[in-house]
Structure 1
Amino acid sequence: MKKRILIISQNFPPEIGSAANRMKGICQCLDEVADVTVWTTEPHYPYKQLYQQTDFLECAPEGITIKRIKTKSIRFEKNILRRFLLYVEVLFRFIKLILTESETYDVVFVTSPPLSVPFIGLLAKRKFKAEFVVDIRDLWPETLSAIKGIFPKILRALGYLIEKRIYHQADKLIVNSEGFISYIQGIVGDSKKIHFLPNGLTDSELVQVPVSRVSDKITIVYTGNMGIAQDIESLFHLAKNFQSAKNVQFLLIGYGKYYAEIQQEIKNLGLKNVIIKPPESRQKVWKRLRSADIAYIGLKEHAIFKTVVPGKLIDYMGASLPIIGVTSGYSKQIIEKAEAGLVFNKNEQQEINKELSKLINNQELRRYYGENGNNFARRHFNWQTNKKLLYKIIFEED
């Protein structure tokens, strides 16, 4: 008899972003061997109005029971208080769902951030007497250390208490970055195993893209969140240095706390070679990645950002794009291990310009890094392969 698995996630398709994409992959894998039910919100990330567009009405997995709660919050990405209020609203609406649920489940699988969702999972674990599995995609509340202000400090202190309880109460812990393991081990000790399950791509996304087209312009692309972690300033330095190169353009597609400020800064700096576009569906972004030439990734210099592996990095590698990066820590290790591109510190601007110029002018070099990245993604970021890891985590005893 198949196990019954309840998955609780604040983010789920048709939402965009690596959180929703990860949950889609996990659900599709588990649905092959179990009865899966998903509790989630109506699409709202990065903002609700986005999902009034037909481009974003695709891709909730078929064959899975999905229960969605409505939220009143409309725009929250710029304001941490509004985001907190959204988390509280989701918390109470999910609690109501738990209290009225008549079904039973063998496994409760929750994903964080936010920490309110694993807290709901604790209640579900007790009601359904189920195994409690916590998937950790970010070290929230530790990430709040990168935000100044009294309110973030208060949230951080409260978050540490909730985080500690959740991790200790979890029957199994999963991370999407090996960079998180030592931090979590410091909380739970050596007695609890921490499982690594990276984000993944589908077979169709992992089809290698040959670098053979002839184009009038070389496109350097950046996709995704433009928030506190991302180093867009270094991309601006590159754009300024290549303004006179008529065959080079920078394409930014995304959303986030600083999207409007970045849009205005492009105008203020007079960067005619930079195009910025609002969020697009994953399908459309993937087409843009496949037609681009080089991908940029940048993370600010803060200890917490050294532990993450951004979803965009995996997408870039899957799309066979050579990477130019301003980052450190775990994401740098992956790029260098895969030989998928070039990584620098923020203060190495002259060296970055020099190496980017080589990439722009050398198609074979772009092909070399792009193929390496794609091959690495096939081995390590492939749902068809990694679902075996998922099954082992869920269905076997630690």
Structure 2
Amino acid sequence: MSKPLSFALLKDGEPFPAQCGAYPLRVGNLARALTEQGHFVSWHASTFSHYEHRRLTYSEATTQSDSFRLVLHESGVYLKNISPARWLHHAKLAYHQYHALLKEEGLDLIFCCIPTLESALAAIWAGHRLGIPVVLDIRDPWPEALVLAAPPAARPVMRLLLAPYFGLARKVMGEADSLTAVSETFLEWAQSLGQRQETTRDRVFYHGSHRIELARSTPRDSDSATRVVYVGGFSTIYEFATLEMALQEGLAGRPDIEFLLIGEGGAPYQELRSRLERYDNVTFTGWLEREKAYELAAGCDLGWLPLKESHSGFLPNKPFEYASLGLALLSSAQGEVQEILEQHGAGFSYREQDASQFSELLLHLAENKSRIGQAGENAFKFWEQYGDARKAASSLADHLVNLARAQEYSHTVP
């Protein structure tokens, strides 16, 4: 029997399993998968909670998971996501992670998520010092995502200002032993930036989602209105102008098409809600507990992904969550998401801010609900094959183990 291996996982900003309840996220799933295989895992992060914007308490900061070791480093705080304080926090965290990695005994592999590039550099340096492989997991195309977040006219200036950061990204992408990514688009971007030759060590592992076990759900009635549901935060990567225009041009008040918007998102959300909640066929619920949100979503017909064209390369959790509920997808994404929908027959696409096409598609589907039902079945099959978070994490764990074993073997050859 092969001896257990030791893995260090570097990811800040992701809620820990204790905070996620029954549905841990990517690194939480990976930590669980590795420990279930009998390996040792340490997860290095900050004492500052990104989502709650507060320092974790002493008991939280010294948590010993029942399956892995959680190592939290004091790295300061920040109040705004885009601020010098956040960049300083990342630099401090990377410094502490680097020195902590050098002190870990018998470490076999370092797995680091991007963002952040500072932690990625710490992982690369530590991997060189320890003679062990480093895997970088591309969660966002950093710092390209910062450029895309700027108005189109400001992007050339933003790219120029971020030139040193792009240089850092090229270095770590080029020197990593393996790249993993949550989408083909992100992987190709990282490989190109790092000028990497094609290799089987670079692979895509989807985020995926957990199967939501619902106590009950509203049954879908083929004779009822076609219900479109959106679940999640109303962040800047999504656009809702198409819906607003379609309502103004004729979808408003139609009894055969309903929109259910679950979640919230600060001032932009409040402004959108103030404009749209006057329509009889649009319902805003505000923030709901996860189980309640998906209980409502499961009774709908179409899971909506209004992704902006500038972010078409993104592949968030949302499509997998909808698919796990057996919902057909309705998406404005023109990139990888659209390819998945077409290849697997899992949903329907429209062009961003093309209100006429959006309306015509929904009116057609409302009259042909069997198409929605078939697409929903296909979406669930896609989730079972590719989108189950536990299966995705297990495959990623196998990849890391194989890399570590190969390195271990190479060190034993005379």
TM range (shorter): 0.7 to 0.9
Deviation at 1:284, TM superposition (A): 4.4
Aligned to 2:261: 251
Aligned to 1:242: 251
Structure 2 vs 1, CA of residues 205 and 94 (structure 1 numbering), >3 Å: closer, same or farther? same
Write out aligned runs for 1:1-398 (5 A): 1-14=3-16, 21-33=25-37, 34-42=39-47, 44-48=49-53, 62-70=66-74, 72-73=76-77, 75-77=79-81, 80=82, 82=83, 85-99=85-99, 102-104=103-105, 105-146=107-148, 147-148=150-151, 149=154, 152-153=158-159, 156-186=162-192, 187-190=194-197, 192=199, 193-202=201-210, 204-205=211-212, 212-214=219-221, 219-240=227-248, 241-246=250-255, 248-255=258-265, 259-268=266-275, 271-272=278-279, 273-276=281-284, 279-280=287-288, 282-302=290-310, 305-346=311-352, 348-360=354-366, 363-387=369-393, 389-397=395-403
Separation in structure 2 between the aligned mates of residue 131 and residue 261 of structure 1, nearest angstrom: 43
Structure 2 vs 1, CA of residues 40 and 284 (structure 1 numbering), >3 Å: closer, same or farther? farther
1:6 partner SS: strand
Separation in structure 1 between the aligned mates of residue 209 and residue 65 of structure 2, nearest angstrom: 15
Runs of 4+ in 1 over 6 A off after TM superposition: 49-52
Structure 2 vs 1, CA of residues 285 and 63 (structure 1 numbering), >3 Å: closer, same or farther? farther
Contact 1:47 1:76 in 2 (8 A): no
Contact 1:322 1:367 in 2 (8 A): yes
2:380 partner SS: helix
Contact 2:220 2:300 in 1 (8 A): no
- Structure of higher CA gyration radius: 2
Structure 2 vs 1, CA of residues 131 and 250 (structure 1 numbering), >3 Å: closer, same or farther? same
Separation in structure 2 between the aligned mates of residue 361 and residue 61 of structure 1, nearest angstrom: 52
Considering only aligned residues, what root-mean-square deviation do their CA atoms show, in Å? 3.4
Deviations 1:338-393 (A, max 9, x none): 21111011254223212213434555333222111011111111245434532442
Separation in structure 2 between the aligned mates of residue 51 and residue 254 of structure 1, nearest angstrom: 24
Gaps spanning 5+ residues in structure 1: where? 53-59
TM-score between both structures, scaled by the size of structure 1? 0.82
Identical-residue share of aligned pairs (%) = 17
Gaps spanning 5+ residues in structure 2: where? 58-63, 407-414
Contact 2:242 2:353 in 1 (8 A): no
Structure 2 vs 1, CA of residues 100 and 116 (structure 1 numbering), >3 Å: closer, same or farther? closer
TM-score between both structures, scaled by the size of structure 2? 0.79
Contact 1:6 1:38 in 2 (8 A): yes
Separation in structure 2 between the aligned mates of residue 114 and residue 210 of structure 1, nearest angstrom: 39
1:245 partner SS: coil
1:350 partner SS: helix
Contact 2:47 2:55 in 1 (8 A): no
Structure 2 vs 1, CA of residues 361 and 47 (structure 1 numbering), >3 Å: closer, same or farther? farther
* One-letter amino acid matched to 1:112: I
Deviation at 1:297, TM superposition (A): 0.8
